[in-house]
Structure 1
Amino acid sequence: MTTEDALAWVERTVGPARVVGELLGGWTSTMLALETAAGEGLVLRLMTREPWRTHGAALTTRESEVQRMLADTPVAAPRSVALDADGSSCGHPAHLMTRLPGSVHTDRPSAADLRSMVAVLVGIHEVVPTIEVRTYQSWAFEAKYVVPPWSTDDGLWEAAFDLLRTPPPAYEPTFLHRDFQPRNLLWSGGRVSGVVDWVETSTGPAWLDVAHAASNLAVAHDAEVAETFAQEYAGRTGRERQPYLEVMDLVGFLPPPGRPGFLTLPQEHAGAEAWLRLALGRL
């Protein structure tokens, strides 16, 4: 099946629609910005990339269910419109949703930006799920415990792997976005206008969302930005920092054997090691 098949499904669902463009930055899916004849903005997720496509039915179903639940909360998330979870109509697992205003910012965030991010994350963590939400899964599984070839301190990574071979800390279950990071935030008028990409939503320790955002900030910018974000969240919520989870999240960026790595630039490597060093130093 082709994109034309997917668009035919969209038109059977909402009427005539045209492709405005492709949204960039996602790792798992082809994301098409659409506009209906009435001028309504929509987004079509086509889960085209492996290994996510293999699990696409569960991922798109989760996103649809979570978005429907969030419609009754203050969280600025897209609203689910239609679902082709098995891809029988579109050729790939597909989810049609509303398009939120705003755009992704990749520039170094200011202190005010970081405070805005924290405020949004606090709001997500205040959600009490009214549907069943799965328990989080660690992305730092044993097969990834291989020192990366770009390492400048192999002992640092070995210490991280040794830590993760011990049990994680106990936690109070909290509603998590699970992929909260700058690429999944939309900005408009100097504020966060929306949070997208709800396929990994879980319950788990609140600090895991903080850790994931901090890891992304460290590799995209530097450990100082990551530290400012984490401190802002801790100061606002009073939650205790969890360096174990910071280590776990950062190690999750390493590739499984035989797969290309997510971190490819020297700046990303330096940021990852600097953040890992800080996290281990807090234990």
Structure 2
Amino acid sequence: MTNHDEAAAVRPLTLAWVSRHLEVGERVVRTEVLRGGITAEMRRLTIGTRDGGTRDLVLRTFVDPFYMERAEDWLDREAGALTLLTGTGVPAPGLVAVDPTAAHCEYPSLLMTHLAGRTVLDDEGSERRVPLLARQLVAIHALRPAERPRKYVTLTTADTVVVPKGADAAAWAAAIDVIRNPAPPYEGRFLHWDFQPGNVLFDVPPSKPAGARITGVVDWAAASWGPADLDVAHCSTNLALLHGPAWGLRFTEAYEEAGGVLAAATSERLYWLVRDGLACSEEVQLLAQSWQKAGRTELTTRVVEERLDAYVTALMDALG
């Protein structure tokens, strides 16, 4: 096996497990670290085939003790979601194998097919990508699985919100009051529950950037059943922090323009949008670090905090 770099090496037990799920005569010939993951290590495995060609697989491995506590649940959910998505037209990876309890690998792992394309986090071209994101999310929400995934879970409470330094105190106090209320009623939908630019792959032809298209949606570990507003809110927050607050507000419009249906009442829409914005207040540093590693070096923790403050304030001004 040839390593792209030292960190790319697959651990011995995991490599043996992977090998057992390959076709006869195939072997791993190259490994490469995929950057950008927060909760797990991601590697692309190039497989040498019997006819002298190659194909690629992706290996997800949970090694951080904090995330390993949840790895079994996440990997079971992702495996179930990938199985459900087979043949639906949603461009998701195909499940090859899963070892959620590390019965065969050094750490909990999932092996899946590799999708073409790359994540695109740059500001340039966002006006073309946002409608594509909206249409893709509408398609996901249109799925009616024979077996529903488990109900969504949100962990943020009024007491866990982290108000950024120098934030608009009145706006944040009002936003926190919003999530003190019970969740509004909703019509359930199949949710990705982490749909955002970092989990969407694009093909963007260098000679024709306007011809960008989505080639894959990855990281289905949080797949759930819940309100479409929740998925929309999460993508809106990420867009606001990546590209500026106006893009967060724009995404809800793009979703409806693509045929998606959101809560009818303004107060209900505000609840979900604010809930996700406040949830991100607890993860600002992690988000900033992952985006910096992906090339957005200007998105320091402070910059992301300032954008989150501006976005929450804009939500309260527009809908509060």
Q: TM-score range by the shorter chain?
A: over 0.9
The one-letter amino acid of 1:128's match is R
Q: Report the alpha carbon displacement of residue 145 of structure 1 after superposing the two structures with TM.
A: 2.8
Q: Distance in 2 between matches of 1:125 and 1:12?
A: 35
* CA deviations over 1:92-148 (Å, ceiling 9, x no partner): 111000000001101114322111111111110111112230111114234413423
Other-structure match for 2:140: 124
Q: Report the alpha carbon displacement of residue 181 of structure 1 after superposing the two structures with TM.
A: 0.2
Q: What pairs up with 1:145-164 in 2 under 5 angstroms?
A: 145-148=161-164, 150-164=165-179
Aligned mate of 1:201, from 197, 215, 223: 223
- TM (norm. structure 2) is 0.82
3-state SS, counterpart of residue 66 of structure 2? coil
Other-structure match for 1:84: 99
Q: Distance in 2 between matches of 1:220 and 1:194?
A: 20
Other-structure match for 1:12: 20
Work out whether 1:267 is the aligned partner of 2:278: no
The one-letter amino acid of 2:194's match is D
Other-structure match for 1:21: 32
Compute the RMSD of aligned alpha carbons.
1.9
Structure 1 gap segments, 5+ residues each: none
Aligned mate of 1:229, from 251, 262, 266: 251
Aligned mate of 1:75, from 79, 84, 90: 90
Other-structure match for 2:270: 243
The one-letter amino acid of 1:35's match is T
Aligned mate of 1:165, from 180, 200, 215: 180
> Structure 1 residues 71, 56: closer, same or farther in 2, change over 3 A?
same
Q: Distance in 2 between matches of 1:143 and 1:11?
A: 47
Q: Distance in 2 between matches of 1:187 and 1:145?
A: 33
Q: Report the alpha carbon displacement of residue 266 of structure 1 after superposing the two structures with TM.
A: 2.6
Q: Report the alpha carbon displacement of residue 207 of structure 1 after superposing the two structures with TM.
A: 1.1
Q: What pairs up with 1:37-56 in 2 under 5 angstroms?
A: 37-38=48-49, 39-56=54-71
3-state SS, counterpart of residue 146 of structure 2? coil
Other-structure match for 1:214: 236
Structure 2 gap segments, 5+ residues each: 1-9, 205-211, 264-268, 289-299
Q: Report the alpha carbon displacement of residue 11 of structure 1 after superposing the two structures with TM.
A: 1.0
> Structure 1 residues 146, 266: closer, same or farther in 2, change over 3 A?
closer
Checking the alignment, whether the CA contact within 8 Å between 1:147 and 1:158 is kept in structure 2 is: no
Checking the alignment, whether the CA contact within 8 Å between 1:244 and 1:279 is kept in structure 2 is: no
- TM (norm. structure 1) is 0.92
The one-letter amino acid of 2:310's match is A
Other-structure match for 2:41: 30
* CA deviations over 1:173-212 (Å, ceiling 9, x no partner): 0000000000000011411100000000001110111110
Q: Distance in 1 between matches of 2:120 and 2:285?
A: 25
More off after superposition, 273-282 vs 193-202: 273-282
Q: Distance in 1 between matches of 2:272 and 2:190?
A: 16
> Structure 1 residues 266, 89: closer, same or farther in 2, change over 3 A?
same
**Percent of aligned pairs with the same residue?**
32
> Structure 1 residues 165, 274: closer, same or farther in 2, change over 3 A?
same
3-state SS, counterpart of residue 216 of structure 1? helix
Q: Distance in 2 between matches of 1:188 and 1:262?
A: 24
More off after superposition, 132-141 vs 198-207: 132-141
Checking the alignment, whether the CA contact within 8 Å between 1:144 and 1:254 is kept in structure 2 is: no
Q: Report the alpha carbon displacement of residue 55 of structure 1 after superposing the two structures with TM.
A: 1.1
Q: Report the alpha carbon displacement of residue 50 of structure 1 after superposing the two structures with TM.
A: 4.3
Q: Distance in 1 between matches of 2:159 and 2:27?
A: 47
Other-structure match for 2:153: 137
The one-letter amino acid of 1:36's match is I
3-state SS, counterpart of residue 220 of structure 1? helix
> Structure 1 residues 162, 181: closer, same or farther in 2, change over 3 A?
same
Q: Report the alpha carbon displacement of residue 261 of structure 1 after superposing the two structures with TM.
A: 5.6
